[in-house]
Amino acid sequence: MQFPTPPRLLRSLFEPKTSGTPSAERAEVSPTAAPACPVRPVTPAPDGKRHVVERVVEVSGWSVFLLLIFVVLSVKVVTLRALSDGMIFGTYSIVVTTYILSRFLLAYLHVPPVGDCNYEPSVSFVIPCYNEESNIQRTILNLLAVAYPRDKMDLCVVNDGSEDGSLREIRQGAFIAKAGGMRTTVVDLKENRGKREAMAEGITRTNGDIVVLVDSDSFLERDSVRRMVEHFQDPEIAAAAGHAKVFNSDTNLLTKMQHVRYYIAFNVYKAAEALFGSVTCCSGCCSAYRRSSLEEVLERWRGQRFLGVQCTYGDDRSLTNNLLRLGYRTAYVPDALSSTVVPDTWRVFLKQQLRWKKSWVRESLIAATFMYKRHPIMATSFYAGLILPLVSPAVVLRSLVWIPFFLHRFPMAYMFGLGVMAMIYGFYYFIHTKDRNWLFGIVFAALSTVFLIWQLPVAILTLKDGSWGTR
């Protein structure tokens, strides 16, 4: 596979966005002698004691991964020849392969910038909470462990009119947080006004330079804040998304599958977008925003209407979109880890997926009006990523209904392609985590391609229906 763009464009990706040399920039940030930053290796240094077996597994994993890609490409070469016979589906097949494989390639090229530990702006955490009594306290207490100067942090928990014991849990958590030296505010909205309102309320009540929006069921790891904050040294960056893991990944098959899915969604898809500073969704689980940028878009975001209806769901994607529209860059921080609780029943899961798809449709259409201004590769893949899922139901229908039941043939090519692509996802996850759950990832990839895609037409048809619909 070759880049379709000249190398000049590629090179520009790695050039620092700030003016001047790194040292000059650093001097500006910390004029006085500051404590030395520990130099973090970009990749963990090879540890001499690493187990041989692990090494072998890794090498063979990569070999299989590349072999699978080779197989897919070989099949595509065949498809290229057959293009004249089936223009539409042949093109689809080639574009979708190119799209998916390019995600891996671009993600690999994404190397997070070097951060300066002396850059320490004030940080505000905002946690909107609605009926989350089982997790909210844990979420709050988790923040106490965050490695960042305590005096530069503050926390605002907004109770969005919860009907369960959330408020009690919040108060209890806040009490402990205050005792731990964290400046904490609890806002009780009395009535349910929606997540956006709750978030907006929290944002206006705080004043940190950086606002970290945390879901009421997400738990930040110790270094996450610092990792995210580092990115804001680049003045063009308005938002940075952390990496969310699945907290309850051991519960059942469904959460295991989502675990792999989250890994791929963040480390492949978001990382690929981050290469161009255009992460399209800084997920609600844990993302940091620059207050100055946030304030530019806050009102617009808060009152967003689409098709004449007040937008309730899709707050995170919408917020990111608003920032991207103004030309800001958004980052993905792979080592800013957090865990989030995912649905463990199919009913809730499907509901959540539908909601995500709705916001994806809405926000992608909005983003389509300005994405062309971005890096050509980013723009191309954005529009491809917008069109492909829309076409996909037709392809599924043709391959799984038309070919077997009307032409009485086994949809060999489709099944093969699906299988290999799912395996590529699975192997990518396995190589990086050595986790045996990679098999569930394969199942999920196939499942979502064949079944979940059908939510998309439903999502389009029910776009106006703005019910809150999570848990």
Partner 1 sequence: MTHDLSAAHAARRREVTRRTAVLTLVNGGLAAGLFAFYTRQSMITRLSLGEITRVLLPTAQLKVAPAAPADGTALAVPVIVYHGVVPRGEHGNVTPETFRTHMVALKKAGYTTLTMDDFRDFMLGKKQVPARSVLLTFDDGRTDTFMGADPVLKKLGLHATMFTILGDARSGKSFYLTLDETKMMARTGRWDVHSHTTDTHVNIRTDAMGKAYGHALAVRRWDEETGRLESDDEWLSRVATDLVEAKRGVAELSGKEVYAFAYPWGDYGQTSEDPLIRTKLRQIGGRIYPLTFAQQKETLDETHNYPSDFGHIMRRIYVHYDMTADDLIARLERGDVKPLPFRDVASFASAGWSLTAGQLVESGSGRDLVDKPGDTNAQAEAFLDGSRRWRDYAVRSRFSLQPDEGVGIVARRVGPSDYLVAIVQQRYACIEQWVGNERISITEGLIDMTAAGRRPHNVSFAVQGQTASLEVDGTQILNANVDAQLSHGGIAFRVEPPRGQRARLHLDDLSVTSLEKPAAESNSNETTPGTVTSR
Min. distance of Cβ 388 from partner 1 in angstroms? 22
Which residues, in sequence order, are CB contacts of 32 under 8 Å at separation 6+?
A: none
What does the alpha-carbon distance between residue 160 and residue 198 come to, in Å, rounded to a whole number? 6
Ranges within 381-420 binding partner 1 (CB under 8 A): 408-410, 412-413, 416
Note whether 84 binds partner 1 by CB under 8 A.
yes
From 26-34, 139-147, 232-240, 355-363, span contacting partner 1 (CB under 8 A): 26-34
From 28-36, 202-210, 280-288, 365-373, span contacting partner 1 (CB under 8 A): 28-36
Tell me which amino acid residue 383 is: Y
Tell me which amino acid residue 56 is: V
Task: Determine contact, residues 125/202, Cβ cutoff 8 Å.
Answer: no
CB-based contacts of 39-44 (< 8 A; 24+ apart in sequence): 42/111, 42/112
Select the residue interacting with partner 1 from 4, 12, 20, 27 (CB under 8 A): 27
Min. distance of Cβ 448 from partner 1 in angstroms? 23
Closer Cβ to partner 1, 22 or 180, answer by number: 22
Closer Cβ to partner 1, 61 or 165, answer by number: 61
Note whether 74 binds partner 1 by CB under 8 A.
yes
Closer Cβ to partner 1, 27 or 461, answer by number: 27
From 101-109, 207-215, 309-317, 390-398, span contacting partner 1 (CB under 8 A): 101-109
Q: How does DSSP classify residue 454? A: G
Closer Cβ to partner 1, 66 or 461, answer by number: 66
Structure tokens that stand for 466 in this block:
């703005």
Note whether 2 binds partner 1 by CB under 8 A.
yes
Min. distance of Cβ 417 from partner 1 in angstroms? 9
Closer Cβ to partner 1, 26 or 193, answer by number: 26
CB-based contacts of 361-369 (< 8 A; 24+ apart in sequence): 361/456, 361/459, 361/460, 361/463, 362/306, 362/311, 362/314, 362/318, 362/463, 363/280, 363/281, 363/314, 363/317, 363/318, 363/321, 364/280, 366/306, 366/321, 366/325, 367/280, 367/321, 367/324, 367/325
Burial 1-10 (b: 16+ CB within 10 A, else e): eeeeeeeeee
Work out whether strand 183-188 and strand 153-159 pair parallel, antiparallel, or are unpaired: parallel
Min. distance of Cβ 460 from partner 1 in angstroms? 33
Contact string (CB under 8 A) for partner 1, positions 275-314, x = contact? ----------------------------------------
Select the residue interacting with partner 1 from 18, 57, 99, 116 (CB under 8 A): 116
Q: How does DSSP classify residue 33? A: -
Ranges within 54-73 binding partner 1 (CB under 8 A): 66, 69-70, 73
**CA distance to 11, 51, 113, 158, 329, per residue, from 16 (Å):** 11, 37, 8, 37, 13
Residue linked to tokens 């199919």: 346
Note whether 113 binds partner 1 by CB under 8 A.
yes
In angstroms, what is the C-alpha Rg of the chain?
Answer: 23
From 19-27, 166-174, 253-261, 331-339, span contacting partner 1 (CB under 8 A): 19-27
**CA distance to 52, 85, 86, 288, 312, per residue, from 394 (Å):** 47, 18, 14, 38, 30
Q: Tell me which residue of 204, 162, 157 sits closest to 183, measured CA to CA.
A: 157
Closer Cβ to partner 1, 41 or 149, answer by number: 41
Min. distance of Cβ 199 from partner 1 in angstroms? 33
Note whether 43 binds partner 1 by CB under 8 A.
yes
Q: Tell me which residue of 102, 84, 173 sits closest to 137, measured CA to CA.
A: 173
Note whether 81 binds partner 1 by CB under 8 A.
yes
What pairs with residue 88 in β-bridges? none
From 108-116, 140-148, 425-433, 436-444, span contacting partner 1 (CB under 8 A): 108-116
Residues that bind partner 1 (CB under 8 A): 1-2, 14, 22-23, 26-27, 33-43, 66, 69-70, 73-74, 77-78, 81-82, 84-85, 105, 108-109, 111, 113-114, 116, 408-410, 412-413, 416
